[in-house]
Amino acid sequence: MALLLFLLLAISIVSADEDAFIGVNIGTDLSDMPHPTQVVALLKAQQIRHVRLYNSDRGMLLALANTGIKVAISVPNDQLLGIGQSNSTAANWVSQNVVAHYPATNITNICVGSEVLTTLPNAARILVSALKFIHSALVASNLDSQIKVSTPLSSSLILDSFPPSQAFFNRSWNPVLVPMLSFLQSTGSSFMLNIYPYYDYMQSNGVIPLDYALFRPLTPNKEAIDANTLLHYSNVFDAMVDAAYFAMAYLNFTNIPVMVTESGWPSKGNSGEPDATSDNANTYNSNLIQHVLNKTGTPKHPGISVSTYIYELYNEDLKPGPLSEKNWGLFDANGAPIYILHLTGAGSVLANDTTSQTYCAAKDGADEKMLQAALDWACGPGKVNCSLLLQGQPCYEPDTVAAHATYAFDAYYHLMGKGPGTCEFNGVAAITTSNPSHGSCVFSRSVGKNVTFFNGTFPALNSTSSHSRGRYLHSSASTSGVILIGVLSWYVVFL
């Protein structure tokens, strides 16, 4: 009876103030870590709108500026002691890593440390101070309502997680967890949790069925039922999220939302890891994405989806440990997908077909003079090889400025590794997923990782400037290799 009363009191005060999202973690333990501009190009091409960094790398924060991508940054564990011991160190950290970048870079969360209680127990005593110092520095900069502070915890802190209604935190950490939860509650922040059904499944010695870990449909008689609440659980993820809600409720905190800072599945493992396969990784991540975006919520909080960052963007070949450790990524270092997610109906996150190309094309209805100026620039200073646009060459027809500009814009965009701002051309170009290839004029080409990022940017021009077709090239043709003369669209190639 007491338990029932307690459960009733604990019911759904949690609310979602914003739609739950899917984000992706960006680990950087790669021998050939892509340049930040390439990382951001991949995020854009895949429509990834939320990322979490394990640090506050300046190059990444700059590359993410003005992209609309929302960013969770982290205080790495090795900086935690300094920050937790000194509010001025914390204030300096915030000024260098947050204030210097916001709002161009839309920082939404600061993760203070990573699984501190389980990986760096010595720092436990200063963890709450670190949270508070970082928060005070945000308050001082008037950023505390936009940027939330929390600390991702390992789900191994939650004991007896099934049935979820009986879950509780390892009591030895209550002296840290209670003030931490008070802090999260008073600042409107989320409880950050890393959830790995892969490990729960692996360590369960067959108790947890694979289907239950992978969100595969279960026959109703296989669903796990929490005898206290009579709630039906059909996957490990939901059970773990609800266990966190119950463990918090056990300490009398009932209105702190859960955010999952890491979850995923490895696509490859050694002989002792037979379930680390790309099929399982695909199934887990595809189902996880749909589950979050579906707004199904959990049995305890139906309709309240839990924002989740997938672990992780890239396979990290430098990670120590078993083979699976290096194979949690959705992409390899070249941005090629490890597997193609099945996301039918999932909407706007991660294109269904992760191999789907993006192209850069002239905007419909763009001013012809501006297109021409941009075309001239791309084929000249932009260093695009425009010889296929010559009469008699495959991309000459249709002989319109828009078609030729599309060819040159797309070539430039690829040449620049699809970096931010490389498909703009003063607003006459736009990224598209429809392939502008026609006949023997084929646009798709592989993007080498060896693209040379040169210094040039497309100069600001406007439609009243008097560039006529070809003039720009005449004046700068000496290095371009291509010259375009007069109104005849007649190109000459110097070789």
Ligand X SMILES: *[C@@H]1O[C@H](CO)[C@@H](O)[C@H](O)[C@H]1NC(C)=O
Q: Is 82 in the site for ligand X (CB under 6 A)?
A: no
Candidates 18, 115, 325, 397; catalytic one: 115
Closest CA to 191 of 212, 175, 172, 169: 169
Question: Segment near ligand X (CB under 6 A), from 188-196, 201-209, 271-279, 462-470?
Answer: 462-470
Closest CA to 338 of 279, 284, 414: 279
Please state the φ and ψ torsions of residue 197, each to the nearest 5 degrees. -55, -25
Question: Segment near ligand X (CB under 6 A), from 92-100, 220-228, 276-284, 383-391?
Answer: 383-391
- Positive or negative CA dihedral for 456, 460, 462, 465? negative
Among 291, 369, 383, 418, binds ligand X (CB under 6 A): 291
Contacts of 297-303 with C-beta under 8 Å, sequence gap 24+, read 298/238, 298/241, 298/242, 298/245, 299/226, 299/229, 299/231, 299/232, 299/233, 299/238, 299/242, 300/12, 300/164, 300/229, 300/231, 300/242, 300/245, 300/246, 301/12, 301/14, 301/242, 301/245
Q: Is 387 in the site for ligand X (CB under 6 A)?
A: yes
Question: Segment near ligand X (CB under 6 A), from 184-192, 291-299, 359-367, 414-422?
Answer: 291-299
From the CB of 345, what's the least distance to ligand X, in Å?
5
* Helix pair angle (124-140, 77-85), 10° resolution: 70
Q: Is 466 in the site for ligand X (CB under 6 A)?
A: no
- Per DSSP bridges, beta strands 429-432 and 359-362 are antiparallel
Q: Is 205 in the site for ligand X (CB under 6 A)?
A: no
115 is catalytic: yes
262 is catalytic: yes
Q: Is 260 helix (H, G, I), strand (E, B) or coil?
A: strand
Under a CB-based contact definition with an 8 Å cutoff, are residues 231 and 300 in contact? Answer: yes
- Positive or negative CA dihedral for 302, 303, 307, 308? positive
From the CB of 270, what's the least distance to ligand X, in Å?
27
From the CB of 102, what's the least distance to ligand X, in Å?
7
In the range 393-432, which residues lie near ligand X by CB under 6 A? none
Beta carbon nearer to ligand X, 39 or 327: 39
Integer Cα distance of 146 and 239 in angstroms: 30
Question: Segment near ligand X (CB under 6 A), from 71-79, 297-305, 320-328, 382-390?
Answer: 382-390
Candidates 18, 223, 262, 424; catalytic one: 262
Cα angle for residues 262, 48, 138 (degrees, 5° grid): 65
x/- mask, ligand X, residues 128-157, rule CB under 6 A, reads --------x---x-----------------
Q: Is 156 helix (H, G, I), strand (E, B) or coil?
A: helix
In the range 242-281, which residues lie near ligand X by CB under 6 A? 251-252
Q: What is the identity of the amino acid at 192?
A: M
Beta carbon nearer to ligand X, 388 or 485: 388
Q: Is 435 in the site for ligand X (CB under 6 A)?
A: no
Q: How far is CA 97 from the centre of its chain?
A: 19
From the CB of 311, what's the least distance to ligand X, in Å?
18
From the CB of 138, what's the least distance to ligand X, in Å?
11
From the CB of 85, what's the least distance to ligand X, in Å?
11
> Mind telling me the catalytic residues?
115, 262
- Which residues lie near ligand X (CB under 6 A)? 70, 87, 91, 103, 106, 108, 121, 136, 140, 159, 170, 172, 215, 251-252, 287, 290-291, 294, 296, 343-345, 348, 351-352, 385, 387-388, 448, 450, 455, 462, 464-465, 481
